[in-house]
Structure 1
């Protein structure tokens, strides 16, 4: 459904949350296709699929927290958690986050948030203004990018991933 000038804020919230929840669902599906060993396999010089999953979950967790606090900090992440080591923990957490994201559909996403970002290797920070909806769309599209990285990794491990799995919504619309 295309956004139109007469769409309500509620309709926009539903569209945005559906988009985000769909990306989480695809990550969950991909993780479900893997064995425990494939999930944590780390190719030389690259991150594991588990690392990409943790990164995506961290971003969703940051926006979920930021909607209530008014501050989003994507760079506050903890690496090496159980989610990154245990596929069943990842599947459970993806389901929880997806449920939380779906719950946002009833909330106005035009609420302002401040995004705090590390902008230099010395730890310098910058703050920018945004909205909860814009940031949820960013995280959704960021997740598509990570799925696009994880899918070829899974295929090299022998996983049969559907052909158009992990495509961006805009790409799928173009292919229609």
Structure 2
């Protein structure tokens, strides 16, 4: 493969991954904008999932996107990005306020568009990922792999949100909220008779 076709493939992969991440972020943004989830629903404690609220799950998913983006900014001139998802900070306003959560999610969406729109080869940049297991371990990965991880991590937490809103609070979240991108593609192929 020539370096030119490799660069084109990398650019396509980066754009596809960015679009996926933006779609993942659009799910809660649209849910909060629709108005059926307000402050009361954000902080309602689940009876099925211990210590869970919609706000806690949204904030946790947001944290991972935020930490990835912050690591890109702080490691911009380094050969490898240093990333640690365990360095989260409490954000009670985010967890209790639908408007604050929506504003913060929109901010992350803009930052993603800016970061990945300005740097053509960002997906392949090396990441040194720290993990506490409880011992601290370091892993080698890439920015693209970590962006994919934060998307799937968010979907996992959206599924909990779906259970709380639909199952406990009786709020319709639509058929795609909290569903993995691969599952949506699979459903589309099946509905078209392609599988």
Larger Rg: 2
1:148 CA displacement: 1.2
Match of 1:167 among 170, 175, 179: 179
Which range moved further: 155-164 or 12-21? Answer: 155-164
SS at match of 2:157: helix
Kindly indicate whether residue 161 of structure 2 is the aligned counterpart of residue 150 of structure 1.
Answer: yes
**2:136 match:** 125
Match of 1:35 among 21, 31, 38: 38
Q: Deviations over 1:12-59 (max 9, x none)?
A: 111111111111110212233302101111124231010001101100
**2:66 match:** 61
The two structures have a TM-score, normalised by structure 2, of 0.81
Matches within 5 A, 1:89-108: 89-103=100-114, 104-107=116-119, 108=121
CA distance in 1, matches of 2:93, 2:38: 16
The gaps in structure 1 that reach 5 residues or longer are: none
The two structures have a TM-score, normalised by structure 1, of 0.89
CA contact under 8 A between 1:13 and 1:133: conserved in structure 2?
A: yes
Match of 2:92 among 81, 85, 88: 81
CA contact under 8 A between 1:20 and 1:140: conserved in structure 2?
A: yes
Which range moved further: 158-167 or 91-100? Answer: 158-167
CA contact under 8 A between 1:144 and 1:166: conserved in structure 2?
A: yes
* CA RMSD across the alignment: 1.6
